[in-house]
Amino acid sequence: MELALGRSLEDEIRDWRRFEMPRVVFHAAEIICGLQFLHSKGIIHRDLKPGNILLDKQGHVKIADFGLAVDDIFGDQTIVGYAGTPGYMAPEILLKKEYNAGVDWWSTGIVISEMAIGRSPFYSGNDKKKIWHSTIRDKLELPDWLSAEMSDLIRKVSIISCIEEL
């Protein structure tokens, strides 16, 4: 286990509101590489959110808090189970359907959105019922000023989740 003496991504987002695009791309790339590694080992994190992404002194990403993670899930294997943090949980989890590692990609899309636009693309208040309904029913809302490339990345990462089958 590595020591991360920096701050969490949540702290950084709170302080900066949103990041400059080069920083979003840097952190997004490292999160994506980290998830690819975890998934190659059969690990699904299931609680990816800015508070569980630590930054070392150089600003490199360290994915943390594996308390809700499951392992030995490869390829098309699926599981069922309610786990995660409201606002970052994929629709499959909320609907208690079978899911796979795609749920981590959904969460990644939300995290990238928060870095890029300073908020979730869905309702992100304190009302858990509204969060649940927004995640299930609302379309991904991204501002027009966001670059086409970043919008495309967020949409593609989020689609890896099996939402189309719902």
Each residue's pLDDT tens digit, 97-114: 999 999 999 999 999 999
Confidence of residue 133 (pLDDT cuts 50, 70, 90): confident
Tell me what pLDDT residue 134 has: 86
Q: Is 47 a catalytic residue?
A: yes
Rounded to whole angstroms, the Cα distance separating 149 from 8 reads 26
Tell me what pLDDT residue 39 has: 97
All structural domains of the chain: 9-66+78-165 (1.10.510.10)
Cβ proximity of 120 and 106 under 8 Å: no
Is the per-residue pLDDT at 89 higher than 60?
A: yes
Which residue type, as a one-letter code, is found at position 22? P
Which of 92 and 139 is assigned the larger pLDDT?
92
Q: What is the dihedral of CA 55, 115, 46, 61, to 10 degrees?
A: -20
CA atoms within 13 Å, Cβ hemisphere of 11: 9
Beta strands in the chain (DSSP E): 53-55, 61-63
Find the catalytic residue in 11, 15, 47, 71: 47
